């Protein structure tokens, strides 16, 4: 559902005179408050093991529960994208990121509680301290490595992730292997 259909009253004064201002905002005719539905920031990580296989996760929650995903999630308030990468990998895989490199971004829509939230998904290549002892946690029910020749973008649930996987396969994005050389 688009935010304009869900938000019918002004969150500042409660007025019913909360009208569409433009495609991404509503304005209150009573108090003048303007609400913008700007994109939320999210991160997703490409992680390869020493065999050149890509780490994928299985989503444990909706949207797209049960489909494949890349590890990652939303950037928290007062957090950089790089900090979000480290936190999300810790939460979802119980692993430590030792290096991350920004690759590209894609727009997406993420459905939460019936509301379509616009997101800007930032993709990173990451190296982990150890790729041999990963444990699924948080909203991930499973994590495993897939040979690149077996990757199918259609098995990934979120549109931006599907597109990123296709870009990765078609353009051969340069991503270094997963483990530290220590």
Using alpha carbons, list the distances in angstroms from residue 47 to 26, 112, 116, 177: 40, 26, 28, 7
Q: How far apart are the first and last CA of the chain?
A: 49
Q: How far apart are CA 43 and CA 55, in angstroms?
A: 15
Q: On the CB side of 178, how many CA atoms lie within 13 Å of its CA?
A: 23
Question: Which residue, among 143, 53, 128, 116, has the nearest Cα to 85 in the 3D structure?
Answer: 128
Annotated domain spans of the chain: 3-36, 40-171
- Contacts with 14 (C-beta within 8 Å, 6 or more apart), sequence order: none
- Give per-residue pLDDT as tens, 27-55: 999 999 999 999 999 999 999 999 999 99
| Phi, psi dihedral angles at 161 (to 5 degrees) | -70, -45
Please report the pLDDT score of residue 41 as a whole number. Answer: 98
| DSSP conformation class of 76 | P
Q: Does domain 40-171 have CATH number 3.30.70.100?
A: no
Least confident of 22-31, 109-118, 120-129, 136-145: 109-118
Q: How far is CA 118 from the centre of its chain?
A: 11
């Amino acid at each position: 559902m688009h935010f304009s259909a869900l938000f019918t009253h002004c969150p500042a004064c409660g007025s019913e005179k909360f009208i569409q201002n433009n495609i991404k905002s509503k304005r209150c005719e009573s108090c003048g408050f303007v609400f913008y539905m700007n994109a939320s920031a999210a991160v997703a990580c490409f992680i390869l093991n020493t065999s050149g296989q890509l780490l994928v996760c299985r989503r444990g929650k909706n949207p797209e529960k049960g489909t494949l995903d890349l590890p990652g999630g939303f950037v928290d308030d007062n957090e950089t994208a790089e900090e979000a990468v480290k936190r999300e990998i810790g939460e979802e895989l119980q692993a430590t990121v030792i290096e991350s490199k920004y690759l590209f971004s894609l727009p997406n829509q993420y459905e939460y509680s019936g509301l379509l939230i616009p997101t800007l998904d930032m993709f990173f290549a990451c190296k982990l301290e150890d790729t041999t002892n990963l444990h699924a946690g948080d909203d991930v029910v499973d994590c495993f490595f897939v040979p690149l020749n077996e990757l199918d973008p259609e098995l990934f649930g979120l549109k931006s992730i599907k597109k990123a996987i296709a870009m990765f396969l078609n353009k051969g994005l340069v991503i270094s292997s997963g483990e530290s050389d220590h």
